[in-house]
Amino acid sequence: MFYIRGMKKLILLLLFIPLVSFGQDETNVEVNVNTGIASQFADRGLKNLGKGIYSITQVGSSGFVSLKKLEKRARQEIIDFSTSNKYNWEIITVEHLGLEDIVDVFPKVIITFQITNQDGSAVLGIISQEEFDERAEPLKKIILD
């Protein structure tokens, strides 16, 4: 009797194991967070376009923020970036995207500008020999001592 009851349980167990194991498919879900309102805020900030040209984007937090205020904020960010890195800057284009220009909910200002060194040379991210020697001197002392 014990043997028959044990066999029934074993048969049931063997029948349900394949059902459970085949039911476990691996599913990958891709979520694109740059759609809708989120994509408008993802564009904000300073972007390096190469060869010393940058663009800065300011997006209003509501539809009631004026484009002039957004432009003023963007210009202040350009000034802060340029003074902290000791660059000269020149605005190439200013683009206002208001509610009538775009389908987006929030107004947007995009300013494209070019930066140069204090002497007028292009900013390439490469330092001069004098700057290298100046930065390397304390490191040489550490290594040689």
The pLDDT, as a whole number, for residue 86 is 87
pTM as predicted = 0.58
- pLDDT digit string, tens, across residues 92-145: 999 988 766 555 578 889 999 999 988 888 776 666 678 788 888 888 888 887
The pLDDT, as a whole number, for residue 106 is 82
Quote the mean pLDDT of the chain: 78
- The CA distances from residue 49 to 24, 52, 78, 124, in Å, are 46, 7, 15, 12
Measured CA angle at 33 (ends 28, 36), to 5 deg: 130
Three-state helix/strand/coil letters over the chain? CHHHHHHHHHHHHHHHHHHHHHCCCCCCCCCCCCCCHHHHHHCCEEEEEECCEEEEEEECCCCCCCHHHHHHHHHHHHHHHHHHHCCEEEEEEEEEECCCCCCCCCCEEEEEEEEECCCCCECCCCCCHHHHHHHHHHHHHHHHC
The amino acid sitting at 56 is I
